[in-house]
Amino acid sequence: MPRIPPPPLPKALQPRPKRPGENGENGATHPLPIEAGISVVDWVDERMQMSSGLRWLLFRKVPRGVNWPYTLGSATLFAFLNQAVTGVFLAMYYRPDVSGGAYESIRNINDNVFLGQLVHAMHKWGASVMIILIFLHMGRVFFYGAYKYPREMTWVIGVVLLILTLAMGFSGYLLPFDQRSYWATVVGVNINAGGPFIGPFLSNFLLGGADFGATTLSRFYAIHMLLIPGLMAALIGAHLYLITKLGIAAPPWIKPHVAEDGDHTLAEAEV
Amino acid sequence: MPGAFEGETITRRNLVNLWAQGAGGIAAAAFTLPALGFAIAPIFKREPWSWQAIGTPADFPDNVYETKVITITPGIGEAGNSIAYVRARNPAIDTEPEDQYNHWVALSSRCMHLGCPVRYVSAAERFICPCHGGVYDFRGMVVGGPPVRPLDRFYTRLNDGLVEIGPRYSVNKELQRFSPRFPGEPIDGIGQYLYPAQFATSKKP
């Protein structure tokens, strides 16, 4: 069976050249532990063909002149991952019980669970950090003109992600179920009801009825931890695919490089 | 038709393709539609209401409000409670037509700006909202701030010698009754059409 040629190894993993006086034949009989690792990776990669995709994703050309604001998108991604990880573990202790159990479970997380206060605070403050980062990222893309052709769909998906992030903030605000949560949600749902024609019905959908009721909290909980995160994960995947496929837009002050044959291309450098 | 047999209007390949995609669509709809209906069903479900006794007729003077805790949603503790301000009807100031449901005036504490709880300040004879400064007079009419219509009311009735409080209704500036609307929805003029009655609530007690 023909074997697919292995991808070139990174420099750090390539075998060291023989030192003068070293007997090469003897060295091969004592393989380094790292080579066992390589052969496992080889075995998996021969079957999954992941390395070319990973190289496509990670080792791509980026334009000259990229700077710190270009990292805001990654920063937002990591804020999302922080929310996902801390949220999953908070869900192990949280109870969406509208008659007092929800508040009691949050109090338990804060007071009794080991590192509970820290993980809860990471989720709470991380939410604000994510909102700030996503707006800064949007501002960077806007002011650098990076939303222009051919990257319009990346922008559109990003705007949907922004809206979903705000919806996450809204639905998550109710979950601690203290006075502030309750009244902020009442006000938020009523603002939503101010939309003509469909606003009242949308609010009925959010509340699960005409008034704040027995299932409102569990609806918000399900929306917060299942519905929107799933949508966001899918859209983040599409966003990253487009970024990789289309490449990063150069900063607006980088002029197109004119080659001697008159071909206009952006100067690119491998980073 | 190219690719099809003599006299046939569709190729076999296209026909089987249609079958496969149709089957996939039916399979997807089989779980999507019930789940969607399940999620949006509360919009169409009429919520039940039971009359709640709040006191005897002697408990309610016609010149000051009594504060009564009533249950909007039973079974969920404090989150399902709300406050109604109740007084006897005073023909000298209550100009709306009298019927069997308003011998006692029961105002909802839900502010008609965005739903915060108003409180009655007896010294000023005003209802004041702590959130954004909505002010209502003794009859619940807007006299200041952002609210878009007078305070909602509850139907009241006398039953077995007790004053009972019933479902909520909304009123416009002439105190005409409408089925309950969310706060922030004006129901004067075009507002009653922009914010139609919902399936979940009824105008009738």
Residues A225, B177: Cα–Cα separation, whole Å: 40
Average model confidence (pLDDT) across chain A: 89
3-class DSSP state of B133: coil
The confidence score (pLDDT) of residue B199 equals 86
The confidence score (pLDDT) of residue B57 equals 94
Alpha-carbon dihedral angle through residues A258, A259, A265, A271, given to the nearest 10 degrees: -110
User: So what CATH class is B52-194?
Assistant: mainly beta
Please name the residues between 80 and 139 in chain A that touch chain B, using a CB distance below 8 Å.
Answer: 98-100
* CB–CB contact A186 B195 (8 Å): no
State the pTM of this model.
0.85
For chain A, the domain total comes to: 1
CA distances from B135 to A95, A183, B12 (A): 38, 19, 73
Residues B200, B87: Cα–Cα separation, whole Å: 28
Helix ranges restricted to H, B45-74: none
In a domain, A16, yes or no: no
Helix ranges restricted to H, chain B: 12-44, 191-194
Phi, psi of B32 (to 5 degrees): -75, -45
Extract the tokens encoding B11. 């190729």
* CB–CB contact B47 A99 (8 Å): no
The confidence score (pLDDT) of residue B107 equals 96
* CB–CB contact A203 B45 (8 Å): no
Closest CA relative to residue B173, chosen from B189, B161, B160? B189
3-class DSSP state of A197: coil
Q: Which residue of A has its CA nearest to B200?
A: A210
Alpha-carbon dihedral angle through residues B159, B161, B162, B163, given to the nearest 10 degrees: 70
The partner residues of B170 in beta bridges, in order of sequence, read B178
Residues B117, A241: Cα–Cα separation, whole Å: 48
Residue B68 and residue B52 in contact, taking contact as beta carbons nearer than 8 Å: no
Tens of pLDDT along chain B (205 residues)? 777 778 888 888 999 999 999 999 999 999 999 999 999 998 998 888 889 999 999 999 999 999 999 999 888 988 899 999 999 999 999 999 999 999 999 999 999 999 999 999 999 999 999 999 999 999 999 999 999 999 999 999 999 999 999 999 999 999 999 999 999 999 998 998 999 998 888 877 7
| CATH, residue A102 | 1.20.810.10
The confidence score (pLDDT) of residue A36 equals 72
Closest CA relative to residue A134, chosen from A54, A73, A71? A73
Mean pLDDT, consecutive 10-residue segments, chain A of 271 residues? 74 76 56 71 90 90 92 97 97 93 96 96 97 98 95 98 98 95 95 93 92 92 96 98 94 78 53 43
In a domain, A230, yes or no: yes
Summarised one tens digit per residue, pLDDT across range B83-127 is 999 999 999 999 999 999 999 999 999 999 999 999 999 999 999
Q: Is B36 on the interface with A (CB under 8 A)?
A: no
Summarised one tens digit per residue, pLDDT across range A116-171 is 999 999 999 999 999 999 999 999 999 999 999 999 999 999 999 999 999 999 99
The confidence score (pLDDT) of residue A216 equals 94
Residues A196, B192: Cα–Cα separation, whole Å: 10
Cα-based angle B147, B153, B154 (whole degrees, multiple of 5): 155
What are the residue ranges spanned by the domains of chain B? 1-44, 52-194
Measured in whole angstroms, how far is the alpha carbon of residue A119 from the centre of its chain?
A: 19
In a domain, A58, yes or no: no
* CB–CB contact A197 B201 (8 Å): no
Identify the domain containing residue A202 by its residue range: 68-251
Which residues of chain A lie closer than 8 angstroms to B115, CB-CB?
186-187, 189-190
Please name the residues between 160 and 199 in chain A that touch chain B, using a CB distance below 8 Å.
Answer: 177, 182-183, 186-187, 189-191, 193-194, 196-197, 199
Q: Which residues of B115-126 are buried (b: 16+ CB within 10 A; e: fewer)?
A: bbebebeeeeeb
Residue with structure tokens 């008659």? A99
Q: Say what the ipTM of the complex is.
A: 0.88
Residues A103, A120: Cα–Cα separation, whole Å: 13
Cis peptide before B34 (omega within 30 of 0): no
Among candidates B73, B115, B194 on the partner chain, residue whose Cβ is nearest the Cβ of A213: B73
In a domain, A268, yes or no: no
Residues B21, B124: Cα–Cα separation, whole Å: 70
Which residues touch A39 (CB under 8 Å, ≥6 apart)?
A: none
Residue B129 and residue B109 in contact, taking contact as beta carbons nearer than 8 Å: no
